[in-house]
Structure 1
């Protein structure tokens, strides 16, 4: 299989979509990886498997409509395999195995059949000290945007997923790209003060537009850099509540077509005014785990 991912919005041809089948019982608080999941466990509102299966099938149907080839993970019993972007990502013609939380290594095995279709020289496993998840990595033509956290308390922050070692390793692998890292705001306890990944507070769309949440960035000048890069008139700024609902975590099928959550009324109206076709799907239950459309999809090939 030939991989090709140069950016977030070129026409999608091949993608891995996670699965909610056999995702296991409601976790205990101590087994949760993020503050939003903890919040829903404590409130008794953690999403049910049957509801999440329906939501993911709605996305699968949109992919079918646009003739996208879709791979799904092998189903592992009682294992949450919804967020395929966490476990691997593609830059150019190379697929990277994410160095993720140790408990989640078996999720990689569930897409081994996809991994094995790729030329061996293009399968990359970074050194052990490089922590990285796909939600923090965004190829954008000449650039690679990466979300990171370099605070001294990094080892204690369960929501810090990509470290500076990974940033440097990716920079070394792509000397012809400009790698731009962004310090993200992290919280183990408050989901409204936590950007779990870069795509939880920012995402490029179309040819020159972006969705962004200022408070997701720890350093204001890095947020300002993005505003200047895209141009203020091309940026849709989201509120803290909208970031919590995952407004920036949409998914582009092409420069003109975006899959978005059906309740994102303010965003979806703006997108249509900008000329986008918006494919609305129900995804609010999956959103309770602090991930949404980009998190559940891992593109392999775009035109």
Structure 2
């Protein structure tokens, strides 16, 4: 279902429900690569990996990225998932829908995104307006948060953040302490666990842009993780202990760079993954998962992958 057709639902008819990352997906916002615009200037980039590919002359083309996103749309169609798309803004990168909003329980929370990306948020206003007004949350301006840092996991909410005094110096620091506290206040019955992430404006192999760039829970009790993505080893150890060492798939620095952790779960048994993630996909199948492989390498050049470009609205 396209964004245009989805409007026919009328106002206040979306009954949101997301309590974890892996329950059966019923409705999702999938970003779009249409009218993506020219190759950005280096000074306008949000992440070091995009800069790397601009300098190398390997930045992805719009046609390749559209084709990759349509492969994901086809998987959603196969599993009867209702798909919403953002309204297309001319010459605007709207791939990463996870950045602009996120759902926890029955509430949708607008992200306080980087200032020059605010028009991306407006492109999903038609979805926002289909939600009960009492379930629409706008955080105070000083609460910086993006959906890639926020993971509901049953009784817990995991949040990637950065608390350093040099927060403002990192364009890669997207979620701050005030946002963590605001989410704690919104969900007092949840255990909110924050993890400080390693940040770099210049080296994509030393930068965890969001929590889902170095960690992702899958199935009922398993997880993909990269130790160096966490600023404090104790946070990494907490997660390994929480899921159990035998249930954790450890990825290397290069695999984090390739976005191995940024897969997307359609259910506890079905995962969409990049087709070149051979080591991960083999392990997933050994664990009993159905792996739906798609080409997503070109989109990955912008330091985001499958979870980054999807924003669940309803999971069973």
TM-score category (smaller protein): over 0.9
1:271 aligns with 2:274: no
Q: Secondary structure at the match of 1:9?
A: coil
Q: Deviations over 1:5-27 (max 9, x none)?
A: 00000000000000000010000
1:123 maps onto 2:136 in alignment:
yes
Q: 1:268 is paired with a residue of what secondary structure?
A: helix
| Pair 1:252 & 2:268 matched | no
**Cα offset, 1:132, TM superposition:** 0.0
Secondary structure, counterpart of 1:16 in structure 2: strand
Match of 1:62 among 70, 75, 80: 75
Mind listing any 5+ residue stretches in structure 1 that lack a counterpart? Answer: none
Report whether the alignment pairs 1:228 with 2:241. yes
Deviation at 1:108, TM superposition (A): 1.0
Taking the aligned partners of 2:121 and 2:232, their CA distance within structure 1 comes to 33
**Structure 1 residue aligned with 2:33:** 20
Distance in 2 (CA, whole Å) between partners of 1:118 and 1:152 is: 37
Q: 1:295 aligns with which of 308, 311, 315?
A: 308
In 1: Cα distance, 2:44 partner to 2:242 partner = 39
TM-score (norm: length of structure 2):
0.96
Match of residue 134 from structure 1 = 147
Q: Of 92, 95, 100, which residue of structure 2 is paired with 1:82?
A: 95
CA-based RMSD of the aligned residues comes to 0.3
- Tell me the residue number matched to 2:156: 143
1:4 is aligned, of 17, 27, 49, to: 17
For 1:225 and 1:180, how far apart are their aligned partners in 2?
10
> 1:50 is matched with which residue?
63
1:110 to 106, 111, 123: 123
Distance in 2, Cα, partners of 1:108 & 1:251: 22
The counterpart of 1:168, out of the listed 152, 177, 181, is 181
The question of 1:37 aligning with 2:50 is answered yes
Find the residue that maps to 2:29 and give its secondary structure: strand
CA distance in 1, matches of 2:226, 2:243: 14
TM-score after normalising by structure 1: 1.00
Q: State the shift of 1:109 in Å.
A: 1.1
**Aligned mates of 1:239, 1:295 — CA distance in 2:** 20
- d(CA) in 2 for partners of 1:106, 1:22: 14
Instruction: Count matched residues.
Output: 303
- Distance apart, 1:2 and its partner CA: 0.4
Aligned match of 1:192:
205
User: Which consecutive segments of 4 or more residues in structure 1 shift more than 3 A?
Assistant: none
Partner of residue 168, structure 2: 155
Alignment counterpart, residue 285 of structure 1, candidates 293, 298, 302: 298
Q: Distance in 2 between matches of 1:30 and 1:232?
A: 41
Matches within 5 A, 1:206-221: 206-221=219-234
Q: Deviations over 1:73-119 (max 9, x none)?
A: 11100000000000000000000000010111111111111111000
Deviation at 1:193, TM superposition (A): 0.1
